[in-house]
Amino acid sequence: MLRHFLRDDDLSPAEQAEILDLADRLKTDPLGSDVLAGQSVAVIFEKNSTRTRMSFEVGIHQLGGQPLVVDGRMMQLGREETIEDTSRVLSRYAHAVVWRTFAQARIDAMASASSVPVVNALTDEFHPCQVLADLQTIRERHGRLAGLTLTYLGDGANNMAHSLLVGGATAGLHVRVGAPAGFAPLPWVLDAARKRAAETGGSVELFDQPQASVEGADVLVTDSWTSMGQENDGKDRVSPFRPFQINAGLLAATGNTDVTVLHCLPAHRGWEITDEVLDGPASAVFDEAENRLHAQKALLSWLLGKR
Ligand code: CP
Ligand code: NVA
């Protein structure tokens, strides 16, 4: 059956766990699989990228496949060709399509006309590949996922907050979002996360005060206060967020000496996170960046039916 990965709850809890197990196996044996031999994967970007681009390109190569990495702004898609016509054509060349774009509706349209798996490499609403890597990293540090408490601090309405809510609830995490007024997650995303949490024993909670949101947390996560495409949205994206910065004080406020700090990167050092924390012992951000490679290789192997 044709499967896509457009948002975190496109995977069931059992499927997510299966992919994370495969990611761990691929991490110990990076060149041990050639499941993409003879296959090509289109990897298309309409926004900037360092990690996503490199990790998909390297990962597809390591699996024996051919990555076709293209700047979407240079495609006919960037002129007047429709998403659906583009998708029909890509399905004739590639065995999967990985796309970084703007509105989620765009990737939904790509998937609707595709006869090959479509993978969300970041939209305005979700960043599900990142959260697979985050979950892999948390499990490496803590030995488990279900039952842990994760607090995301910052813009609660961005792609990382949304994917951590839905993907975290799928893994049975207690997911908290600490965000200033006006930056709460979108209601339909909260509904999706709560639905998943009800199945897995996880939970979802919102806070508008940073201290309360981190108390007892096992994992703290933050992200840029201004996501790509929001640079000129007219909102003050600095002063409301300052109290939500991950710094030594907020780390101590967890009351937990074994806390892990994640950031999908790129980081704005001194804004959403201090150098001291990013470069300190609680930080797993560079393991997290590495795990993009392993988690995405596992995802592609699984989507292309080589399980
Ligand atoms: N974390 C992440 O997606 O990084 P890039 O924007 O560099 O791909
Ligand atoms: N929320 C950020 C994530 C970057 C990887 C953005 O969309 O710009």
pLDDT in tens, 239-257: 999 999 999 999 999 999 9
**Residue 100 catalytic?**
yes
Ligand 2, residue 226: give the atom nearest the CA.
8
Q: Which atom of ligand 2 has the smallest separation from the CA of 52?
A: 5
**Is residue 223 among the annotated active site residues?**
yes
Whether pTM > 0.95 for this model: the answer is yes
Say yes or no to pLDDT of 104 above 70: yes
Q: Which of 4, 7, 196, 292 is catalytic?
A: 292
- pLDDT the model gives residue 78: 86
Q: Which of 130, 136, 245, 296 is catalytic?
A: 130
Among protein residues, the one whose CA lies closest to atom 1 of ligand 2: 227
Decide: 18 and 307 in contact? Cβ < 8 Å: yes
Whether residue 213 is annotated as binding a ligand: the answer is no
pLDDT of residue 305: 74
Ligand 1 atom index nearest CA of 264: 1
Q: Determine the Cα–Cα distance for residues 195 and 192; give it in Å rounded to an integer.
A: 5
Task: Supply the residue whose CA is at minimum distance from atom 3 of ligand 1.
Answer: 52
